[in-house]
Structure 1
Amino acid sequence: MGFKLWVQLFLLLAFIAPHLASARNLQGSRKGDNRKGIHGVKAYLQRYGYYVTQNETNSQTNAFDEALEESIKSYQKFFKLNVSGALDKETLDQMAKPRCGVSDNFTTAGGKLGGSYYAFFPGRRIWAPEKRHLTYGFIHDYPSKYVPQVMRAFATWEANTHFTFSQAVGGQTADIVLSFERRDHGDGHPFDGLGGALAHCFGPIDGRVHFDAQEIWDWGIRILQNDLESVALHEIGHALGLGHTDVQDAVMWPTMNFGSRKTRLHDDDINGIHALYGN
């Protein structure tokens, strides 16, 4: 293993250790408790569309309130965990997984969060009927070594939809624009560094797709890497108008495991895109 990979491994382990300690501290927390770190759980659940409170001050405290209990139940229901409203090990483990930075609070086909099928962006935003050829481009010194993964992801969507895709000559003018970004990058949705949110997208017809430049992408020790093609396939689904499904094997499932790959669309993904644009 080269020096650079050792450094990345060290940084990853340095990131994981305090998070594991925090998780152990919070395990078993339930309504009425007040433990250090609970405000972080509230922030996480608020970011992904679960924690809603009329009093913003409440979201910054470590008090395990009723709103947090209800949001944890919604989160557990979506991810098919034991619906207890408490922070058990299974729930904390799920929260620790790398994931898409887009909220899970989408309009589903059944109009209910946690439906057992595909979901759509709010307002069911889609590309216009005459817009079935989309261009994509790379900006902000996008690394050339990660272009083939994105091209394969577009080819997979093309093979399963009425869309065709081609790379634009000028990246800024493309329908879908992809870039690597760090921390606060000016779109109101800052990345959180190593671990956490891997990427996000702004849906039709905005078309921006951002990958977190501080993540570990496609490198030597596969068990600790994130597969860029899989994440790109997911984010392109958002760019076409799909939300997060609760079907775990689908590409549009919100979380990823280190070292895992999803490079083929699931029936749920295909049914979702056909529901938006026709078979």
Structure 2
Amino acid sequence: MTARSGPDPNRSLVGASASDAKLAENYLRAFGYLPEDVPLQSDSGRAAVRASQAMALLATTGDIDEATRTVFEQPRCGFPDRQGVEDPRSGKSLTSVAEFVAFGTVWDHAVITYRINNLSPDFDQNRQRALIRAAWERWAAVVPLVFQETTGAPDIEIRFARGSHGDGSPFDGPGNILAHAFFPPPNGGSLAGDAHFDEDEQWQDGVRPGGFDLFNVAVHEFGHSLGLNHTSVPNSTMNPFYPVPSTPAADDREGVRQIYRRHIWAASLYRDVLGRRFDDGGLDFWVRKLFSNSSPEQVARGFLYSLENSGRIATDLYFTLLDRAPEPAGLDHWRTQLAGGLGRQSAIVAFLDSAEYRGKYPADDAFIDSLYRRLLRRPPDAGGYRYWKDMMKGGMSRYEVARGFVLSDEYCRAYARGLYRNYLRREPEQAGWDGWTGRLKAGLNHQDAETGFVASPEYQNAVVSWW
């Protein structure tokens, strides 16, 4: 919004009435625009008014006009809007808000527990509990986090309180501040993530006159509990002024996904490597690994060489090469071998050299033809067919022939191209394609090549927008 023309923006609030000045001072100090040691009647005080007007998308005049007074009295979240405001003269921070409002923290696990310490007497408590659960689910639909209510020691405590309630941020009675919440650890110490609702408000189910919608306010506050700050973007859940959209908007989704990008990456490995949705305990395990100094490469290898993925590879080889489902003993054997470090291409060669495969193609010419069709996915060309037939006549074993196909430029190039398409959702650039093809021809395990793709910065960045 373009600011309208007005008085000199550098003059102080000399003309403000005493009641307007007091209203402005209380608001600006409460929401992080003006520290206690900076007077309202100063250039910095006028700058603070302009900053609060910008957050509310008003003309940034620095005057306390009717629209600005309305904002100062509007029901809203008690979480400060600004942290680290700079004095235009000194360049030093003007805010001295508590440490818990510092931005940038994130939960270092995926299963986040909450405990409801008490509920409001204003309406049915079972319904309140359901609304709180539904508010968490709005964020679980945006990022791979699991919210579980507990009666034990929680990550997040939720409670209703009046006035001063032990967190250094007292409520103000009916109206204005409705609730507040704290960022994830380490900010806030024992209060990290906690959400408090002002019991002096009239809480209700639904946005309508006479009270405040618990669900609407909870969705907003839980955004703070996850690490989101306020935004001036209109129609966003993290706008500070009640009511807000109860479904996180594009601005909210982009912000929380950037905060939880490592969680999204781990969850994406379940989807893209294992072909399924994450299980709660497994995701929590891998996210904790990422936050305890395990590298993306180590976590990716954990997925690629897991018993689950190894079983998927082995099952696929049975169907692709032997045209049947695996028997339990055989599946267990190959799954164990692959999880122990055997490369997928080595398993392919072993299948092709097996007695069962020999029984399917006892003649050398049929064996060669099958390799073209099953591995290269095309009929044999005359020159290539003749080459391999001559090699077998000269004494080359089936094992060596199969290995020659699996390490051929054609097979490795096709496999590398598939990695680009499957994981990066694009066609390969020539230099990268040539590089991966060369490494595969030199014997790089297929699982290690996949590790390189899913641990790459390109994939890690891309999955945030694909979630």
Q: Normalising by the residue count of structure 2, what TM-score does the alignment of the two structures yield?
A: 0.46
What residue identity is the alignment partner of 1:181? A
Shift of 1:69: 1.2
Give the aligned partner of residue 163 of structure 1: 145
Contact residue 198 and residue 211 of structure 1 kept, 8 A: yes
1:74 and 2:51 correspond = yes
Question: SS of 1:81's equivalent?
Answer: coil
- Distance in 2 (CA, whole Å) between partners of 1:253 and 1:35 is 29
1:102 partner amino acid: F
The residue correspondences of 1:1-279 to structure 2 (distance < 5 A) are 31-33=13-15, 35-37=17-19, 38-52=21-35, 54-55=37-38, 58=39, 64-106=41-83, 122-128=102-108, 131-140=109-118, 144=125, 145-170=127-152, 173-205=153-185, 206-218=192-204, 222-257=208-243, 262-278=245-261, 279=464
Contact kept? 1:52, 1:71, Cα under 8 Å: no
Q: Distance in 2 between matches of 1:125 and 1:204?
A: 6
Asked whether the equivalents of residues 162 and 199 of structure 2 are also in contact (C-alpha less than 8 Å), the reply is: yes
| Paired position in structure 1 for 2:299 | none
Q: Aligned partners of 1:90, 1:40: CA distance in 2, in Å?
A: 13
What's the C-alpha RMSD, in Å, of the aligned pairs?
Answer: 2.3
CA shift at 1:106, angstroms?
4.4
In 2, the alpha carbon distance for the partners of 1:34 and 1:270 equals: 40
The residue type equivalent to 2:106 in the other structure is I
Cα distance, 1:162–1:252 mapped onto 2, change above 3 Å: same
CA distance 1:84–1:156, shift in 2 (3 Å): same
Deviation (angstroms), 1:66: 2.6
User: In 2, distance between residues paired with 1:203 and 1:159?
Assistant: 20
SS in 1 for 2:203: coil
Q: In structure 2, do the counterparts of structure 1 residues 220 and 142 end up closer, same or farther at CA, with 3 Å as the change threshold?
A: closer
Cα distance in 1 for partners of 2:25, 2:235 equals 27
Distance 2:70 2:184 in 1: 32
Which of structures 1 and 2 has the bigger CA Rg? 2
Structure 1, unaligned runs of 5 or more: 1-29, 108-119
Contact 2:103–2:229 under 8 Å retained in 1: no
Give, in whole Å, the separation in 2 of the partners of 1:239 and 1:220: 22
Mapped to 2, the partners of 1:223 and 1:140 lie a distance apart of 25
Distance 2:217 2:102 in 1: 21
Between the aligned partners of 1:181 and 1:137, the Cα distance in structure 2 is 15
Structure-2 residue corresponding to 1:110:
none
TM-score (norm. length: structure 1): 0.75
Does the aligned pair in 2 maintain the 1:182–1:213 contact within 8 Å?
yes
Identical-residue share of aligned pairs (%):
31
Tell me the matched-pair count. 226
AA matched with 2:42:
D
| Structure 1 residue 54: Cα displacement | 3.7
Q: d(CA) in 2 for partners of 1:276 and 1:82?
A: 31
Shift of 1:102: 0.5
Q: In structure 2, what is the Cα distance between the partners aligned to 1:239 and 1:177?
A: 10
Aligned-pair CA distance for 1:165: 0.9
Contact kept, 8 Å, 1:121 with 1:242, in 2: the verdict is: no
Instruction: Decide whether the 8 Å contact of 1:52 with 1:67 is kept in 2.
Output: no
C-alpha separation in 2, matches of 1:73 and 1:89? 14
Whether the 8 Å contact between 2:220 and 2:246 is mirrored in structure 1 is no
SS in 2 for 1:137: strand
Distance (whole Å) between structure 2 residues aligned to residue 253 and residue 270 of structure 1: 13
CA distance in 2, matches of 1:189, 1:226: 20
The CA distance in 2 between the partners of 1:174 and 1:77, in whole Å, is 37
CA distance in 2 between counterparts of 1:220 and 1:125 reads 31
Given that 1:121 and 1:238 are in contact with CA atoms closer than 8 Å, whether structure 2 keeps it comes out as no
Q: Is the 8 A contact 2:101 2:182 kept in 1?
A: no
Query: Judging changes above 3 Å, is the alpha-carbon distance between structure 1 residues 88 and 34 closer, same or farther for their aligned structure 2 residues?
Result: closer
Distance in 1, Cα, partners of 2:66 & 2:145 = 42
Deviations 1:33-54 (A, max 9, x none): 2532212321210110112364
Once the two structures are TM-superposed, the CA of residue 186 in structure 1 deviates from its matched residue by: 1.1
